[in-house]
Amino acid sequence: MAFNFIRTAVALAGLGLAATPALAESHGGFMPQNPECIAPANPGGGWDFTCRQVGKSLQDQGLIDSTMQVVNLAGGGGGVAFAEVVNKRGDENDLIVAASSATATRLAQGAFPGNSMDQVRWLASIGADYGVIAVAADSEVQTLPELLDQIKADPTSVSVAGGSAVGGWDHLKVLIAADAYGIDDVRSVKYIAFDGGGEAVTQLLAGSVQAFTGDISEAKGFVDSGDIRVIAVLAPERLPGDFADLPTAREQGVDAVGANWRGFYGPAGMSDEAYNGWVEKIATLYASDEWKEIMANNGLAPLDLQGAEFEAFVANSVKQIQDISREIGIIK
């Protein structure tokens, strides 16, 4: 069946890859003067969450001594931010950028300027975020099979909104589910792209689209407020805690698993001292009890990778997504 290798790749996140940062010496002496995190989407989505939550937590734990400035730079599924860093800010030591499986997807599909992951330096992961498919709270659709049956019967009757570009990670998650359900031509699924998950949910609530695809962390606030209802979590089994009531796709007979890794990259010209400093700060944060609690509260699964190991993981993600993108005709 198509998409099996994506399932294998994202299962890594569910298994909680553990890695120890291989740092030869402590770079605790590096302290950014004006720490800045670019979120490559509008407020309210997963990249925005990544920047704001990590920035606050780094400061709370004294790993940075001034407030992290978060800059929302939407466009091109992360391409606008990537180009900004590569072309204009290539040697800044205080700058980090939120990245995820969506970033790897756009790199895999040749959608970024230069299209090479080697144009930036990959820092570390902070966890993996399982995908969700959701509807508005007042929707008549109660289950994932109901939604997929509607798509099967009349693909034009259902629009699914997501915060990544067409062919991006949010789009691929719906295709994984459609493929697993036996929809012959997954390209018939009607997907509409917005600049971030927050904007996609806004369109769902306005009635412009019938369903939303995103990640558990960006959906949580809208679930808590009663605005949306998650009809499927793309996890191997039910998540713990606040998420235990949310059904998986698997338990509804749809063998679809999709986890979105979350982490950071920095400019290619960042000094080694700054690079090692950021890697160590993020690793220290990840290992803390406070971060474990934040992960649990936001439905993040373990994914503990730093430095060279994280870079190798991203490279593998890019290769696998290239394979699936060729298979569905997004790239040749």
Strands (E) in the chain, as ranges, are 36-39, 69-72, 95-100, 120-136, 159-162, 190-193, 211-215, 228-233, 259-267, 300-301
CB 89 within 8 A of CB 95: yes
The encoded tokens of residue 186 equal 């997954």
The most distant pair of C-alpha atoms in the chain lies apart, rounded to whole Å, by: 61
Cβ 55 vs Cβ 68: under 8 Å: yes
Q: Are 124 and 286 in contact (CB under 8 A)?
A: yes
Percent of the chain as helix, strand, coil, to the nearest 5: 45, 20, 35
Per-residue model confidence (pLDDT) at position 3: 47
- Residue with the larger pLDDT of the pair 159 and 323: 159
Give the list of residues 6+ apart from residue 207 with CB closer than 8 angstroms, or none. 136
Query: What CATH number belongs to 130-252?
Result: 3.40.190.10
- The DSSP call for residue 206 is T
Go through the chain and tell me how many residues it has: 332
Neighbouring C-alpha atoms within 13 Å toward the C-beta of 49: 26
- Is the distance from CB of 28 to CB of 280 less than 8 angstroms? yes
Residue 256 has pLDDT above 50, yes or no: yes
Residue 4, Cβ density class (10 Å: 0-12 exposed, 13-18 middle, ≥19 buried): exposed
The predicted-structure confidence for 42-68, as pLDDT tens digits, reads as follows: 998 889 999 999 999 999 999 999 999
Q: How confident is the model at residue 25 (pLDDT cuts 50, 70, 90)?
A: very low
CA distances from 119 to 41, 46, 109, 143, 265 (A): 20, 23, 16, 43, 10
User: Is the pLDDT confidence value at 33 over 70?
Assistant: yes
pTM of the model: 0.80
Distance between CA 26 and CA 124 in Å, rounded?
16
Q: Residues 122-135: pLDDT tens digits?
A: 999 999 999 999 99
Q: Where are the domains of the chain?
A: 4-129+260-327, 130-252
Q: State which fold the 4-129+260-327 domain adopts.
A: D-Maltodextrin-Binding Protein; domain 2 (3.40.190)
234 three-class SS:
coil
- Residue 191 in 3-state DSSP? strand
Mean pLDDT across 62-78? 95
Identify whether the C-beta of residue 79 lies closer than 8 Å to the C-beta of residue 193: no
